[in-house]
């Protein structure tokens, strides 16, 4: 989870966005978004999806999911 938070912060800063701007995009307060970046609150899935769109990245990238040959087409072997 720490890696995801670092990626979110880096993406926000690399795009010269403030926490307030991202919070408004998500429809939440700056205080709540800051709590996500500090890991004081869990990031809701609905916000994760919107952040993927905002930064044009996949959820796999943010979550650090690796391709695994045992898992194909959503089935666990």
pLDDT digits (tens, 9 = 90+) for 5-34: 999 999 999 999 999 999 999 999 999 999
CB-CB contact of 47 with 36 (8 Å):
yes
Which parts of 1-77 fold into alpha helices (H)? 2-14, 19-26, 30-37, 45-55, 59-63
Domain range summary for the chain, segments of one domain joined by + = 2-59
d(Cα 48, Cα 50) in Å, to the nearest integer? 6
Mean pLDDT of 42-47: 96
Mean pLDDT of the residues in the chain: 87
Which residues, 6 or more positions from 46, have their beta carbon under 8 angstroms from its beta carbon? none
pLDDT value of position 27: 98
CATH code, residues 2-59: 1.10.260.40
């Amino acid at each position: 989870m720490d890696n995801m938070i670092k990626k979110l912060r880096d993406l926000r800063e690399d795009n010269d966005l403030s926490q307030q701007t991202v919070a408004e995009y998500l429809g939440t307060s700056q205080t709540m978004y800051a709590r996500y970046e500090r890991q004081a609150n869990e990031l809701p899935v609905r916000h994760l999806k919107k952040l993927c769109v905002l930064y044009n990245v996949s959820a796999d990238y943010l979550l650090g999911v690796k391709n695994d040959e045992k898992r194909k087409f959503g089935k666990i072997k």
